[in-house]
Amino acid sequence: MEEAQRRALRRARARLVAALRVAPLWEPLERRGLFTRPMVEEIQSAGSRGDQARQLVIDLETRGKRAFPLFLSILRDTGQGDLADMLMQECGHLPAPPQLGDLRPVELDLRGEKHNKSLAVDKRNRDLVYELKSDPCGRCLILNNVNFSRDSDLSARDGSDVDCEKLEKRFKALSFDVLTRRDLPAQKMVSELQELARQDHSALDCCVVVILSHGCQTSHIQFPGGVYGTDGKAIPIEKIVNYFNGSHCPSLRGKPKLFFIQACGGEQRDRGFVVDGDSPSDEAPGGSLESDATPFKTPAGNVDQPDAVASLPTPSDILVSYSTFPGFVSWRDASSGSWYVETLDSVLEQYARSEDLLNMLLRVANAVSAKGRYKQIPGCFNFLRKKLFFRCK
């Protein structure tokens, strides 16, 4: 969707919420391919007519280049032409919306000139790339836990401030508004995450959460692992992710939500296995090497309970990048920071201008897996629908 069309929807949102009759829209929205049936049902579950109208207008921004003219056409077909005219005025003399006959699939002429084929390929590729055009492109919250209470039996995470400083600079360079919070107990971590999820992200294109802390195994359904507050209470990763799902954070629907977790996934130490001479190798770095591991603990207390399973929607547009494989420790050097963050920062610096996020995370995994006497392999749970290329200043 063009930026002028996004602005028109935002300026007219209050009037649309007040006047839009949503009931006649569901069938044509689905029939004409603007929303799928599950998407329509999720919007309908938003609550009252006004809540549904608000959610529909927000979600329209995520539905591609045809969404705005298609919506105008559907408004006219359902007797709401006055609202279509109002949106056209807000947008500033847009071309007339296409009629249904204009929306039939067009077969490519395989006998056409070569440059026409290239254009078709480029268009297909653009459809599979998230648009990060806003400035800033999104918000980034970094939760950095270094010092833990005596009762927690958790050691200080020396070197974590090095990680934090690197990622603050890196995500600012990638056009994010960065907010850092240090040494928070579990409930305050939850409060910061919920506050971020409650904010209006309508004018933004992405959201990033970074957590630097001790970690552990927890019971889970979707995303494994947990992270500790400074009071020694664990928060399941899946609970953190679900604060930003379509139900709790509607203004991020259809937009990439990225989580980077520097914490252990458990207590196991990976000694690796013998490989041939062509495989990468690296000597263990100097300095004091520590892990962020703590034993498995069943979550206790309200702060640790996973959300009700029945209320969890499909986790689309989400990527959770873990510093290590579930169940294994994650190594951190007291002077240079963690292997994972050091490598992630370096890869982003070198390749963010030319490669998508998943390709860069493969580079991170390959580089970290080659380090040290003990081994570590980062990985991710990827539910992104498209490629993501960062914006570099």
Partners of residue 176 on adjacent β-strands: 138
For residue 43 the two structure tokens come to: 């919007």
Angstrom distance (rounded) from CA 265 to CA 318: 19
**Residue 256, phi then psi, degrees to nearest 5:** -70, 135
H/E element holding 153?
Answer: none
For residue 275 the two structure tokens come to: 């490989």
Using alpha carbons only, give the angle 23, 28, 31 rounded to the nearest 5 degrees. Answer: 135
| Residues tagged active-site | 214, 264
Q: Going by C-beta distance under 8 Å and a sequence separation of 6 or more, which residues neighbour residue 233?
A: 185, 186, 187, 300, 301, 303, 304
For residue 18 the two structure tokens come to: 């007040």
Alpha carbon distances (Å) from 32 to 99, 103, 287, 378, 391 = 11, 8, 61, 42, 33
Angstrom distance (rounded) from CA 104 to CA 345: 46
CB atoms within 10 A of CB 185: 19
Cis amide leading into 98 (omega within 30): no
Angstrom distance (rounded) from CA 205 to CA 202: 8
For residue 357 the two structure tokens come to: 């996020």
